């Protein structure tokens, strides 16, 4: 019938691994970088997360929908800003499917992906996380950060610097082939995350190319120093 039934355990399910990690770390703040219209926050709410949500989204149309969702929630704040390695403004490439909008130009190998056609470029506000995090987090917060920044992961992480230590866990997309020009690859990001003390918890394939080869996966990481002592 085209379906596979398997155990809902951290070893078999990315979602179960995240839920178990949230419980183990007592996560009470989630920072959603590249939130689009708030789909990730909605998913967390449906799965039972009741802590604070902070979402960053620079594309105006997506931000308008995100802001409306956040206002209705009561424990969710939205900022019209892009995380970057620079403070100020940059141009973002807005695509027909706003979830594919990126600071980087698309890789022409994947130009026929639905919704990837560029519509326009916009100037958007940018912040480094190392300057933004002190405004968002309190000293006792247990925090998870999710990145969905369409190839811009390295720049966001570079802009976080030592403030990455304020996050107990991370979730981001990792690529074996670039979808965007200049995109950092899995082989670049794994050592960088390791330098900041993050270890993989779960990896889930999310995209194959036309040959059936793995192109992209979701990665869940924990900062080892945040784990409870056993």
Identify whether 134 is part of a domain: yes
82-141: pLDDT as tens digits: 999 999 999 998 988 778 889 888 887 766 777 667 788 999 999 999 999 999 999 999
pLDDT digits (tens, 9 = 90+) for 139-152: 999 999 999 999 99
**Domain annotation covers residue 100:** no
Q: Which domain holds residue 147?
A: 14-80+128-226
Domain count for the chain, please give it.
1
pTM of the predicted model as reported, rounded to 2 decimal places: 0.94
Q: What are phi and psi of 229, to 5 degrees?
A: -70, 140
**Which neighbouring-strand residues pair with 54?**
31, 77
| Residue 108 belongs to some domain of the structure | no
In a domain? residue 216: yes
The owner of tokens 């149309």 is: 61
Judge whether 211 lies within some domain. yes
Q: Which two tokens stand for residue 75?
A: 């424990």
Domain annotation covers residue 109: no
CATH number at residue 18: 3.40.50.150
> Buried (b) or exposed (e) across 144-161, using 16+ Cβ within 10 A?
bbbbbbbbbbbbbbbbbe
- Is the separation of the CB atoms in 58 and 35 below 8 Å? no
In a domain, 214, yes or no: yes
DSSP letter at 3 equals -
Q: Does 115 fall in a domain?
A: no
């Amino acid at each position: 019938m085209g379906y596979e039934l398997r155990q809902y355990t951290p070893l078999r399910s990315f979602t179960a691994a995240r839920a178990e990690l949230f419980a183990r770390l007592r996560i009470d703040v989630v920072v959603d970088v590249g939130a689009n219209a708030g789909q990730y926050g909605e998913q967390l709410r449906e799965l039972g997360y009741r802590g604070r949500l902070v979402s960053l989204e620079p594309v105006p149309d997506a931000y308008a929908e995100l802001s409306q969702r956040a206002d209705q929630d009561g424990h969710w704040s939205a900022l019209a800003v892009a995380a970057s390695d620079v403070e100020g403004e940059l141009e973002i490439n807005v695509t027909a499917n706003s979830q594919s909008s990126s600071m980087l130009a698309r890789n022409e190998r994947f130009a026929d992906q639905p919704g990837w056609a560029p519509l326009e470029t916009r100037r958007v506000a940018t912040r480094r996380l190392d300057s933004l995090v002190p405004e968002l987090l309190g000293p006792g917060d247990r925090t998870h950060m999710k990145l969905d920044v369409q190839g811009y992961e390295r720049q966001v992480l570079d802009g976080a610097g030592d403030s990455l230590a304020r996050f107990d866990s991370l979730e981001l997309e990792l690529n074996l082939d670039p979808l965007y020009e200049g995109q950092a690859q899995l082989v670049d990001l794994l050592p960088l995350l390791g330098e900041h003390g993050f270890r993989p918890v779960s990896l889930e394939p999310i995209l194959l190319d036309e040959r059936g080869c793995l192109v992209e996966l979701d990665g869940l990481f924990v900062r080892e120093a945040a784990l409870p002592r056993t």
